[in-house]
Structure 1
Amino acid sequence: MSAPRPLLRIEPMHGNAIAPRGADDGSAGTPRGIASIGILYVIGQGQYEQLQRMVFGQEGQCPVFAVLDGAIVDDLPPLLQRHAPDAMCLFSGDLDPMLAAAAPYLLMLTPGSGGAQLALRDGWNSHWGIVLVTDPGTQAHALRAHLRRILRVATPGGDSMLFRFYDPRAFRSVVPSFDAEQRKAFFGPIRGCFVESRDGQGVLYFTRDGEIAPRVLPLAAAA
């Protein structure tokens, strides 16, 4: 079966955002090198609790998920097996162990869960991934199917490439440049995305139906 046609078309101008030769399984074929991650801003317990209030304080019953990046997080698959055993790889098929280790994974978050600790405490401000607030009733398998459709993007030249939207740096660089049609295709059932800020002092909240620019939510200073 041939791979689905990419939903998005973007310019290949962000080195950390895309990787060449997106394969039928959604992968880039082999793990790619990641640029130096630079200065990291470790958060404290109070900031973790504040993040949880931001993320889980949305009105209504909105399922919350995270996508974590195995290319950034050391030993992510065994880590998820211990703390979020229901996590699902966004790549399909029987993957080479090296590719499986570097793949992105989708996990559902609930307050205080092991997955929430990984995404909102251990990995926040360390480029581990992004957090998604979805429409009420969104199921993990349906969200995975949507995310797999936006993993592959087409360049103006027709090349298929892997879009590393789950890297906060790539997200911040690319998503604000989308036009209305691209934005609708990208977000799908996702109401909003929480992404770490560049300076580590706040949280960026990108919405599907609101302004193009994200809301900037300040984090209290670490105790």
Structure 2
Amino acid sequence: MSAPVIEYTRYQSRPFVADGSDPGPLQGPEATPPLKTYAVIDASKVFALPEKLTGGTDPHCCLYKDAAALGEAAPWLVELTLKGQLAANLITHSDPPMRWELLQYEAAIFFQSAADLASLRAHLRRYTSVPDEGGAQFLLRFYDPVFLSALIEAMTPEEKAGFLAPIARLSAIVTTYDGAWIYHQFEPTEALAETASAPLVFDREKRHQLRNIGFRRRAWAISKGAGHDAKTARDFERHCVRMMACDYHDDTRLLELFALYRQLPGAAQPDFLKTARSGAFSPRALGLHFCKQHGLTYPEGASQ
């Protein structure tokens, strides 16, 4: 087996304390040359972000050319400094409803680099719009913490080498259904540094990853409405992604099919998924078909 081109760490925690006694995953061992800490922040998720940045002292720039017109919905590259107020105001805000705003709303990714702000802006701008296999351009929200982890896993080694070239450590922090945080931390290895880089292509696998993230977020919303506990929500998410990929999107039917799926014998579950993928049945017809096969009652209006 070839050497990995990226070291990947995933660990879960409750939100770390705001007094600085727990540095969390954003800091690592000291490096030579010294590394600067940066964030790419999604302005569409942080109220009045351009004004907050302008009123602070942290070096920053918009990753889109027309900041005046697009700034309120654009990604912003910010150098987090000890003297600046961004971390205090947006990460460890003293007002509890706003504390951890960047993390609570999955509004930013964080990374460390020896490069300066201008060099990083030029590098990251290449990833705000990327081509598919046919050359059509797509806006890419690589700075979405949930999508970033899936995107990196879907990259080829050459694409990873290009994307992470100036980055020493990259952190994406996502929120779980029950309010805990999962840290995805990526560190390029020596093998990656020796890998020839290639531009990112938004191919079929990456498009599927993005689609599935949308499905998972919708599954969470349905779970919250149904009052699922954390374990049920995780099980429902996995099931829901499969069903939505079969073009089943009605919330009520998704809950009913999930309840039925859990009642099926284990040996029948693969056939249930295969039949759903075939497209031969509407959601309710699929459920009735398997109820008839296994002597079950269709779980009309089920929420669990």
Q: Give the TM-score normalised by structure 2.
A: 0.49
Aligned to 2:273: none
Residues 64 and 74 (structure 1), Cα distance of their counterparts in 2 relative to 1, 3 Å cut: same
Aligned to 1:169: 146
1:157 alignment partner, SS class: coil
Aligned to 1:150: 127
Aligned to 2:9: none
Separation of aligned partners in 2, 1:86 and 1:110:
8
Unmatched tracts of structure 2, length 5 or more: 1-13, 93-99, 193-304
1:147 alignment partner, SS class: helix
Residue type of the alignment partner of 2:126: R
Aligned to 2:183: 203
Q: What is the correspondence of 1:1-223 to structure 2 with a 5 Å cutoff? A: 44-45=17-18, 49-51=21-23, 54-60=25-31, 61-93=34-66, 95-96=68-69, 99-111=70-82, 113-117=84-88, 118-119=90-91, 121-134=100-113, 136=114, 138-199=115-176, 200-209=180-189
Residues 207 and 119 (structure 1), Cα distance of their counterparts in 2 relative to 1, 3 Å cut: farther
Q: Which 4+ runs in 1 deviate beyond 6 A?
A: none
Aligned-pair distance for 1:204?
1.5
Aligned-pair distance for 1:209?
2.2
Residue type of the alignment partner of 1:184: A
1:130, 1:166 within 8 Å by CA — same for their partners in 2? yes
Instruction: Pick the structure with more helix per residue.
Output: 2
2:103 alignment partner, SS class: coil
Separation of aligned partners in 2, 1:210 and 1:202:
26
Separation of aligned partners in 2, 1:160 and 1:127:
25
Residue type of the alignment partner of 2:165: G
Unmatched tracts of structure 1, length 5 or more: 1-40, 213-223
Residue type of the alignment partner of 2:174: S
Q: CA RMSD in A?
A: 2.6
Q: How many residues align?
A: 166
Cα deviations across residues 112-163 of structure 1 (Å, max 9, x unaligned)? 74222325733123211100111x3x11100111001121211112111111
Separation of aligned partners in 2, 1:184 and 1:196:
22
Percent of residue pairs bearing the same amino acid type: 25
Aligned-pair distance for 1:192?
1.8
Q: Give the TM-score normalised by structure 1.
A: 0.65
Cα deviations across residues 48-73 of structure 1 (Å, max 9, x unaligned)? 64245x42343121111001001111
1:150 alignment partner, SS class: coil
Residues 145 and 73 (structure 1), Cα distance of their counterparts in 2 relative to 1, 3 Å cut: same
Larger Rg over CA atoms: 2
Instruction: Pick the structure with more strand per residue.
Output: 1
1:89, 1:106 within 8 Å by CA — same for their partners in 2? yes
2:110, 2:171 within 8 Å by CA — same for their partners in 1? yes
Cα deviations across residues 154-184 of structure 1 (Å, max 9, x unaligned)? 1112111111011112212211111100101
Residue type of the alignment partner of 1:164: R
Aligned to 1:217: none
